[in-house]
Structure 1
Amino acid sequence: MNLATREAYGKTLIELASNEKVVVLDADLAHATKSMMFQNVCPERFFNVGIAEADMIGTAVGFALSGKVPFASTFAMFAAGRAYDQIRNSACYPKVNIKVVGTHSGISVGEDGGTHQAITDIALMRVLPNMTVIHPCDDVEARQAVLAITEYDGPVYLRLSRVPTPTIHDESYEFKIGKGEILREGNNVAIFATGLMVAKALEAAQKLSEEGINASVVNIPTIKPLDTDLIQEVIKNVDSVVTVEEHNVKGGFGSAISEFISQTTPKKMKIIGVEDKFGKSGDPNKLFEMYGLTSENIALGAKELIGR
């Protein structure tokens, strides 16, 4: 099954309609972010603020201070970019309980072009004190993440994707904020991935196994706070680490992993992501090839690290 994480977000908002504390805001993109699903069942608690992301965050903060649990949705580029000052000063500085949902993240936005492709949002959000950053890899994880952050008290940035992604988890999966999971065991190299790239990391591990290389694959849905215990457990068995993200290699997910490993148990590392460039307009699959975000390139990076 392939389902976009933004689609799972909209469906989960419907589940939350019975929770009278939940309010949903959108910056005139409800059809695209899928928050419109909540509007259809609960119009009295849905607010379209128009093309005014900064105002949306300010309004969400007001709702939070009134005891509500506000979900503020827009494209990731606009959430992390246009509303950064409001998120920093009005939400994170006083640690206000708002949920910022950035859909259409990464280069998989495709034809919307480089200006709309958020490849710096993880970096911007994770450096903010008090901010929790979550990037689910499939629809099952996205649904559970939405439910989990509803109960969590504090600002959250939830990063979602436009395009469908393979469903990796079954219904027995239990998401917990701040926890990762080992999807595949291996002792030659460890591959840490987040979001859409988890599926590609699993494909890469399968390709490596066909060449006699055993790779661990670790899904890290919570980029901040990192599951440092799990990371430490995984890297003690390998000499090399690969990280994979649909984001700039500078300041993002790979940087977060590297910051921890370099201060605890240094390893040979390769960070795979967008190499400090802007995105382009084009078919998402072709863009993944152009920017090296493919299972083949992940496997190649792993082999280079271990000298194969």
Structure 2
Amino acid sequence: MSTTLAARRTVAEVLDHVWENRSTIQGRDAYVMMLLALGRENPDLACVATDMDYEDHFAAELPRQYVEVGIAEQNMIGVAAGLTVAARPVFANGMSPFVIARAYEQIKIDVAGANLPVKIVGTHAGLASGHYGPTHHSLEDIGATRMLPNMTVVVPGDAWEAAQATVAVARDPGPAYLRLGRLATPTLYGERGEFVLGRARVLREPGRVVFVATGPYPNLVAAEAARELAAQGVTAGHLNMHTVKPLDRAAVLDAIEVAEVVVTIEDHRAVGGLGSAVCEVVAEVGGPPVRRIGVPDVHYDLVGGEQYLLRHAGINAANAVARAREVLER
């Protein structure tokens, strides 16, 4: 992180800075800036990391609030849980494919089961590190974490939302998983708005179709698909479901009052994640068909850039439009 970014002092200043640069700042940088601001504000906040270079900014200024455990995700979760005796909240930081899958037992028992205020932050989520191959894909993390008791699961849609979500999970009393990508992405927002855990953001009012997306690229796909359908004369809405757990049931139920088809979009396996969560709600009330767009249920052993892998998996606007139209036209 640059000195300029790290020099932002207060929560309000960080929010202003991220808003002004929301399409050029990486979501993970927005998170780190906000974490440092929150640490200044709250001396009881602690940061634990697995060789993530956070010491360059957080430890240099707040060394008594920082613990570096090295590349040892399972150990980090135990340390973070133990730190809650003296620190609240505790942010535990790592790469998503390792901090969740490798440390799942510790998260299940030490954090979720004990209902402790540990905020697990996974960067490089989804296919963000696809250039390293399937060992670095993180395609099961939403499903794995949303199954755990007490756990809040948040997937910000851009850098602005990442900064807001960091504040929200820090102030929430329970455990949480904050899922972040790697690269900067275009913003979803033209106006500043309130971020509330568990409340979806309506980016386009539902019509015959409603796209429900989580995360940066899936939301960009949903926005493009909704515009394409509108150009074809088909009304289409777009919900940014930034909180996968607790899911905003009311937003889904409102949408399906008018929608003839729901299309979910996520950079996660098509089973277990957002699509499954939405299906659970729709099925309970006998709602319209749901079509899930995500990574196929296969060993996705490709190596490539994030955009290439997303397109190859069908996480693109053309597929989203096609999946919606196949229901409308049958």
Give TM class, smaller chain: over 0.9
Partner in structure 2 of residue 269 of structure 1: 290
Cα RMSD (Å) of the superposition? Answer: 1.5
Provide, for residues 163-216 of structure 1, a one-character-per-residue CA deviation record: whole Å limited to 9, x for no partner: 221111256211111110110124211100000211111011111111111110
Equivalent of residue 230 in structure 1, options 251, 276, 279: 251
Is 1:96 paired with 2:96? no
Provide, for residues 139-178 of structure 1, a one-character-per-residue CA deviation record: whole Å limited to 9, x for no partner: 1111011001111111101111012211112562111111
Partner in structure 2 of residue 256 of structure 1: 277
Partner in structure 2 of residue 246 of structure 1: 267
Using the alignment, how far apart are the partners of 1:217 and 1:240 within structure 2?
Answer: 12
> Retained in 1: the 8 A contact 2:49–2:92?
yes
What TM-score do the two structures reach when normalised by structure 2? 0.89
Identify if the C-alpha distance between structure 1 residues 305 and 279 changes in structure 2 by more than 3 Å, giving closer, same or farther.
farther
Is 1:24 paired with 2:44? no
Using the alignment, how far apart are the partners of 1:207 and 1:44 within structure 2?
Answer: 52
Partner in structure 1 of residue 104 of structure 2: 84
Secondary structure of the 1:21 match is coil
Using the alignment, how far apart are the partners of 1:254 and 1:103 within structure 2?
Answer: 21
Provide, for residues 90-113 of structure 1, a one-character-per-residue CA deviation record: whole Å limited to 9, x for no partner: 111111110000111111322121
Is 1:42 paired with 2:42? no
Task: Write the letter of the residue equivalent to 1:70.
Answer: V
Secondary structure of the 2:302 match is coil
> Retained in 2: the 8 A contact 1:108–1:287?
no
What TM-score do the two structures reach when normalised by structure 1? 0.95
Using the alignment, how far apart are the partners of 2:169 and 2:130 within structure 1?
Answer: 28
Partner in structure 1 of residue 141 of structure 2: 121
Partner in structure 2 of residue 204 of structure 1: 225
Using the alignment, how far apart are the partners of 1:15 and 1:301 within structure 2?
Answer: 43
Identify if the C-alpha distance between structure 1 residues 105 and 279 changes in structure 2 by more than 3 Å, giving closer, same or farther.
farther
Count of aligned residue pairs for this structure pair: 305
Unmatched segments (≥5 aa) in structure 1: none
1:160-179 matched pairs, under 5 angstroms: 160-170=180-190, 172-179=192-199
Aligned structure 1 segments of 4 or more residues deviating by more than 6 angstroms? none
Using the alignment, how far apart are the partners of 1:35 and 1:123 within structure 2?
Answer: 31
> Retained in 2: the 8 A contact 1:123–1:251?
yes
Is 1:285 paired with 2:307? yes
> Retained in 1: the 8 A contact 2:45–2:87?
no
TM-superposed CA distance for 1:41, in Å, is: 2.8
Identify if the C-alpha distance between structure 1 residues 131 and 3 changes in structure 2 by more than 3 Å, giving closer, same or farther.
same
% identity of equivalent residues? 36
Identify if the C-alpha distance between structure 1 residues 235 and 183 changes in structure 2 by more than 3 Å, giving closer, same or farther.
same
Partner in structure 2 of residue 55 of structure 1: 75
> Retained in 2: the 8 A contact 1:17–1:41?
no
TM-superposed CA distance for 1:37, in Å, is: 3.5
Is 1:138 paired with 2:158? yes
Identify if the C-alpha distance between structure 1 residues 46 and 301 changes in structure 2 by more than 3 Å, giving closer, same or farther.
same
Secondary structure of the 1:192 match is strand
Partner in structure 2 of residue 11 of structure 1: 33
TM-superposed CA distance for 1:296, in Å, is: 1.5
